[in-house]
Every structure is written in C-alpha cells, then in structure tokens.
Amino acid sequence: MNPYDYADAHREAFLAELETLLRIPSVSTLSEHKGDVHRAAEWFRQHLLDIGMTRAELFETPGHPLVYAEWLGAPGAPTVLVYGHYDVQPVDDPEGQWKSDPFEPVIRGGALYARGATDDKGQTLTQVKAVQSLLENGGMPVNIKFLIEGEEESGSVNLYDFIDNHHDLLRCDVAVISDTHILGKDRPSIVIGLRGMTYLEIEVRGPSHDLHSGSYGGVVHNPAQALVEILAAMHDAQGHITIPGFYDRVQVLTPEQRADLAKNPMSLERLQAETDISEAWGEPEFDLHERIGIRPTLEINGIVGGWTGEGAKTVLPARAMAKVSCRLVPNQNAIEIEKLIADFVAAHTPPTVTSETRVLHRGDWAVVDTDSPYFRAAADAYTFGFGKAPVYMREGGSIPVVASLQRAFDIPVILMGFGLPDDNLHGPNEKFDLECFYSGIRTAIKFYETIGAMH
C-alpha cells in the first residue's frame, strides 16, 4: 500500500489513539499531575516502539522526563529531528466555559475537543502517524529522531541543558515542529517567526502580617496598591512600554518588510470574532498583525493579594504578587530585559514597602530560514496536503526550542503547524480539527518523501 492510502485507511484507529492520549491530564505546571505527566511520556515511548521506531526511551530530568526515539535505517539520507511536547496547559475555568470534560475528548462539528487536542498532542501525533504510515509501507526515506518534552508549557527549563549535553544523540540535518497554526483549512501558511519570552514574578511586601484595614488603613502603605502602582507605570495610555531601554534593540523593519507582513493582516473583524472584544488595543502606530508578530509586549498574567474569597474581609494584606511576562522580538535579549524590569521595579518601589523580582523562565525569539531546500520542500508539501500554496507569517507565540536547535546544530527548523487560529489553545474548549489532522499527516508524509528524494 502507499503511505497515503494507509493513512486514509487508518483514520479511525489514529483518532482512537489520539483520544487515549488526550485522556491523560499531563499538566506540567501543577505538581499534583506529576504522575499523569509521566504516564503521557510513557505512552509516547511505548507508542513509538509500537510503530516501529528501533529505540525509544525516557530521559529523566529534575522536572518531567523527555521522550527520545529513533529510526536510523536510511543511511546516507537526511536525519530529521521531530520535536513536540506531551504536556498541556492547566484547565482552570473561572468562567465555567468548558462545554465538556477537558480530559474526555468528544467530537463536535468535525473537531476533537480536549485539553492538548491541538497543543500539542494532536499535532505531535500527526508527525508520528506520518512516520508510521511510511514505516508500515517499507518506504521510510529519511532517518527520524523524536524528541518529545513534558515541560514546554512551563518554560522548557530542563530542555536546554539536555540539548547541550546530548549533541551526538540529537544531531540532525533539519528539525520539524508541529506546534503552530495555519490561517485556515483553505489558507495554508507556514510560520517563519516566533517571539521569545521572559517570565517573571514581582512580589511586594509591607507589614509582617495581614492587618485590620480600619486600625491601620491610612498609615500603612497597602502592598496590593503599591504593586498595582508599579505595574501601571509600565505602560503609557497608548500601550507603549515605558521601561527605559525596553525597545532599544527592537529591529526596525524596512517598508518592504512591513509590506510583506501586511500580506497576511489580522483584521479587527477576525479579532472580534475570535475574542468577543469590541475594540482593539495597543501601539497605534503599528497594524494589528505587527503588534502580534514583530512588536514586543509586557503582559500581567495574574495578580494576587489580600482577600479574594467569598464575601467581604476588611484586610490590609501583608503582601501582593503579580506574574508578568514579556514577548520578545529580534534582537532583544531576555537577560537584558529582565535586568531592565528588575531595575524599573526597584526604582518604582517606594520606601514604605519592599519588592522582589524573580525570573521563572526565559526563551529566545526565532526567525526561520526560508531559503533552505527543506523549507521549499515543506512549502510544496503544504500545497500537496491542503491544495493551495502556503503563505508565510510571523506568529506571536513562543517555542523556545526553535532558537536552541538553530544554535546547537546550525540547521533549518521547519514550523509545520496544523492548528487553526480558533483552536483555543490555553483556553476553554481547545480543539483540533479532524481535517487538519488528516491533511497534516498527508503533508508530513509528502515532506519526508520529498527530502528523502533530495539527496
């Protein structure tokens, strides 16, 4: 059988396997799920052996394990490293918006709904199923290595050392990652840029313990108030970041580059449809797609302090804390930005309270080389899989491993995403469109065939 017919004939089986994987609540950031995270790693290890990989093992880290697998039966042919992640985001649902159990996948309207459906279990499995379809039919034209991590959603904190210490194991000619999205099923696209990130915690402390707000309010500076004053000073009214030096290294695009980006604009209508907001926000001198693709941001991800339980409690809290992260763009440097933020917080902390800024994790931005034969093979594969030539776009999200792989091996990295813009990754009712799953498998098979024939 040819691999495409094999993949078509096994749609039901592939879907059932994805459902099994999605039932494992592998939330990497919550320690109560440590066992589940391990189970998801083990599922991938066993599954990769089952599809015919000749080696598959778990590498333990101080955090969650990495899954490594290989099939190196095509001597002389290129070696592809497929990266994916088996961990998922938490399912916290303050607004009660999940329509079904996040860990009991269900199909509605041609899409599979579950946490991790698109990000990144479904997309990673798309690559695995392409490899299986080739292996089962005796036509695997390239060498394959899988590296599937369990800490992507919590900052890949143990991945960088692993890459540094396992150069020989991971050595490859090209890396492929399915963890991004296309613009639409009839608008295939390839991501050519990702933003970087630095993630911080800012804590403000005042009195040694919580106080009665009547006995002490008016004479003790409230740490929650001091914290929001510091945070509020970080943007001006138009959405520019006011931290001195923050924009210093941000690349200024040429008019040609800006015109190029404008070929795939984000429209206010799309933004409204996806988010239900009425007005856009942000730096007015940049278009919406520029604010997402090539401008850095500073975001408050969460803020706590004092009484937030049911009813009222008149308290003056001893401390308040915010989680703050920045999306970084070429040529910003995460460590430099962290220093600028820490200095800003210190300078804006009044003598009435103390503050501390802690870095949780960081990752570099990445720009993809569109000139490599591998990239052209990927573009052709999309044309085959989705019936239309892909456009190129810059994405606002981050996949820190991209820059690490580029640096470690000086190789092209292909962002072969198959999600859709409204898949709701990280939010309620995350989904993966089944057509994207099946067309993605065909696209990946085509890619492997093309690059196998290239050498």
Only one residue has tokens 């210093």, namely 248
Nearest approach, Cβ of 299 to ligand BES (angstroms)? Answer: 10
Stretch that binds Zn ion, among 69-77, 174-182, 318-326, 356-364 (CB under 5 A): 174-182
Nearer to Zn ion, 71 or 437 (CB): 437
Nearest approach, Cβ of 103 to ligand BES (angstroms)? Answer: 18
Q: Which partner in ligand BES, Zn ion, none is near 155 (CB below 5 to 8 A by kind)?
A: ligand BES
The residues that bridge with 146 in the sheet, in sequence order, are 69, 82
Instruction: Determine phi and psi for 446, rounding to 5 degrees.
Output: -60, -40
What does DSSP assign to residue 119?
I
For residues 187 to 206, the per-residue mask of contacts with ligand BES, x marking binding by CB under 6 A and - elsewhere, is ----------x---------
Please name which of 293, 11, 251 lies closest in space to residue 133, comparing C-alpha atoms. Answer: 11
Nearer to ligand BES, 172 or 399 (CB): 399
Task: Rule CB under 5 A: say whether 423 interacts with Zn ion.
Answer: no
For the beta carbon of residue 238, count every other beta carbon within 10 angstroms: 10
Nearest approach, Cβ of 157 to ligand BES (angstroms)? Answer: 10
Sequence-distant (≥ 6) Cβ neighbours of residue 112 within 8 angstroms? 15, 18, 19, 22, 105, 106, 122, 431, 432, 434, 437
Please state, in angstroms and as integers, the Cα–Cα distance from residue 324 to each residue in 234, 362, 427, following that order.
Answer: 11, 12, 18
Task: Rule CB under 6 A: say whether 119 interacts with ligand BES.
Answer: yes
Nearer to Zn ion, 17 or 152 (CB): 152
Stretch that binds ligand BES, among 68-76, 152-160, 226-234, 284-292 (CB under 6 A): 152-160
Please state, in angstroms and as integers, the Cα–Cα distance from residue 153 to each residue in 7, 26, 141, 397, 400, following that order.
Answer: 30, 11, 32, 12, 10
Q: How many residues bind Zn ion (CB under 5 A)?
A: 3
Task: Rule CB under 6 A: say whether 395 interacts with ligand BES.
Answer: yes
Nearer to Zn ion, 305 or 417 (CB): 417
Nearest approach, Cβ of 65 to ligand BES (angstroms)? Answer: 18
Only one residue has tokens 């009214």, namely 237
Judge whether 174 and 81 are in contact, CB under 8 Å: yes
Residues forming the site for ligand BES (CB under 6 A):
119-120, 152-153, 155, 179-181, 197, 363, 395, 397-400, 425
Residues forming the site for Zn ion (CB under 5 A):
119-120, 179
